[in-house]
Amino acid sequence: MNVTTLPKPPRVGLVSLGCPKALVDSERIMTKLRADGYDMSPDYAGADVVLVNTCGFLDSAKEESLEAIGEAIAENGRVVVTGCMGKEADVIRNRFPDVLAITGPQQYEEVVAAVHEAAPPVPSPFIDLVPEAGLKLTPRHYSYLKISEGCNHRCAFCIIPSIRGDLVSRRPDAILREAEKLVAAGTRELLVISQDTSAYGVDIRHQPRPWKGGEVRAHMTDLARELGKLGAWVRLHYVYPYPHVDNVIPLMAEGLVLPYLDIPFQHASPDVLRRMRRPANDAKVLQRIRSWREQVPDLAVRSSFVVGFPGETEQDFAYLLGWLEEARLDRVGAFKFEAVEGAPATSMDDQVPEDVKQERYEAVMALSARISAEKLAAKVGSTLDVLIDRVDESPSPLAGEDGAERRERGHIDAPHPGHHHSVGATGRSKADAPEIDGEVHLRDAGGLRPGDIVKVHIEDSDEHDLYGVAA
């Protein structure tokens, strides 16, 4: 009997840095490579070639990318570089002349071709291991869904348009087909991402496409409505507060879209916003947030803010703190302004000293933590839907009543007097996006699996997380 011995396929290692949009790029590249017969290597030693997907948004991100490239060179030696920092190929070549190839963002074909050259695929009719939904780097139960590339804004602190270009929207029917495949493959939550989700379709004049016997426009509201019909949670990220965002709120009230908005306000002071080249109608934004919450009382609003932007005065910063106190956002991230080569703000006058930036950063985070703690404490005693992300299969002892130990251990168990051993689980409510928001930690979680959506009775809270038990 002749037995066919399959050749060992070449193995690719991956280091993926940066934002969720870069992660989606990595998923697309790896899906194509898997379709071409490659295996994935979990470490440098087992890889025939290492792919480093870089970030080039901030100088600190560039340095992290260069460090990752250096580590891959040292540990493996055969490295292909892609991503946003690929735009600065000369910088990479000068530091690492042995890099095999360098490509920019979204250059999927060039990346795959470089990997093919570095480690040629082995032709075999038996090797076709990619599931129809593609290869995912995120857990199977949630998926990022990129709806566009690039951005039409020209914010003074940002170089994204120079890296990724102007807005280029995907066809709505193509997005919906991808979403259908993801849901069919087990995705319970779709995280809609882009540089500017609210602007989706502007570049193609919101052109409609045939879908399910009708038509769907290339517009955020229409797309969100259709995604909501697929049966998965739909979470909207990077939503600029254009007027038409108001039309998404009724979809949240209907349960088609999660009651969650990720809006990059960046600041509140009109003077700072003008210097940033951002919209500066802060009073109207507060009115709209109040209106949204009247329609959807459990709406969670997350945002990020830059402190220490050039020209930010004590009055500007006090204005921001007052605005945050009034807005009472659910989730807040803060960043100290960082000068980036190529960004107009880098050469602006009145740069803020680093010690002042640090003081302002700490003040924003302290205020946000207090507001978050108050809002989460109000949820104690309620029952929430929670999507399980991971389960701790090994029983672990519960900490003392003060909860200090369990916080150091990563919130594995919720507090429960007299309960000493329990299988714990960690998940997220509708108010929590993965990686960037808080979590819900469950005790007595035996029988639960990642991807389950369960009702959880909330027993305790802290500044960022909730604790409870399956109801």
Q: Rounded CA gap, 249 and 247, in Å?
A: 6
Provide DSSP, 150-164: --S---TT--HHHHH
Which of 132, 134, 216 has the alpha carbon at shortest distance from 171? Answer: 216
What does the block give as tokens for 342? Answer: 């190529």
SS3 143: strand
Q: Rounded CA gap, 309 and 323, in Å?
A: 17
Neighbours of 168 (CB within 10 A): 15
What does the block give as tokens for 368? Answer: 């946000």
Judge whether residue 279 has pLDDT over 90: no
Domain coordinates of the chain in residue numbers? 11-118, 142-377, 383-470
pLDDT digits (tens, 9 = 90+) for 21-63: 788 888 888 877 876 778 889 999 999 999 999 988 788 889 9
At position 423, the amino acid (one-letter code) is V
HEC-encoded secondary structure of 23-56? HHHHHHHHHHHHHCCCEEECCCCCCCEEEEEECC
Judge whether residue 407 has pLDDT over 50: no
Provide DSSP, 223-251: HHHHHHTTSSEEEE-S----GGGGGGHHH
Residue 136: the pLDDT is: 59
What does the block give as tokens for 403? Answer: 């909860």
Query: What are the φ/ψ torsions at residue 302 (nearest 5 degrees)?
Result: -110, 150
Query: What are the φ/ψ torsions at residue 468 (nearest 5 degrees)?
Result: -170, -165
Mean pLDDT of 100-119: 87
Residue 373 or 110, more confident: 373
Which of 239, 357, 262 has the alpha carbon at shortest distance from 306? Answer: 357
Beta bridge partners of 148: 169
- As a residue count, the chain comes to 471
Judge whether residue 87 has pLDDT over 80: yes
SS3 84: helix
First to last CA, the chain: 58
Residue 22: the pLDDT is: 82
Judge whether residue 402 has pLDDT over 50: no
Query: What is the topology classification, in CATH, of domain 142-377?
Result: pyruvate-formate lyase- activating enzyme (3.80.30)
pLDDT digits (tens, 9 = 90+) for 160-205: 777 778 888 999 999 999 899 889 888 999 999 888 899 999 999 9
Residue 394: the pLDDT is: 54
Question: Please, are residues 174 and 417 in contact by the beta-carbon 8 Å criterion?
Answer: no
Work out whether the CA dihedral 410, 416, 418, 422 comes out positive or negative: negative
As a CATH number, domain 11-118 is 3.40.50.12160
Judge whether residue 155 has pLDDT over 90: no
Burial class (CB in 10 A: 0-12, 13-18, 19+), 110: middle
What does the block give as tokens for 292? Answer: 């949204």
Neighbours of 380 (CB within 10 A): 14
366 contacts: CB under 8 Å, gap ≥ 6? none
CATH 3.40.50.300 fits 383-470, yes or no: no
Which of 69, 27, 49, 52 has the alpha carbon at shortest distance from 115? Answer: 49
SS3 180: helix
This prediction's pTM:
0.72
Strand-pair category, 383-397 with 421-429: antiparallel
Buried b (16+ CB within 10 A) or exposed e, 358-367: eebbebbeeb
How high is the mean pLDDT of the chain?
A: 85
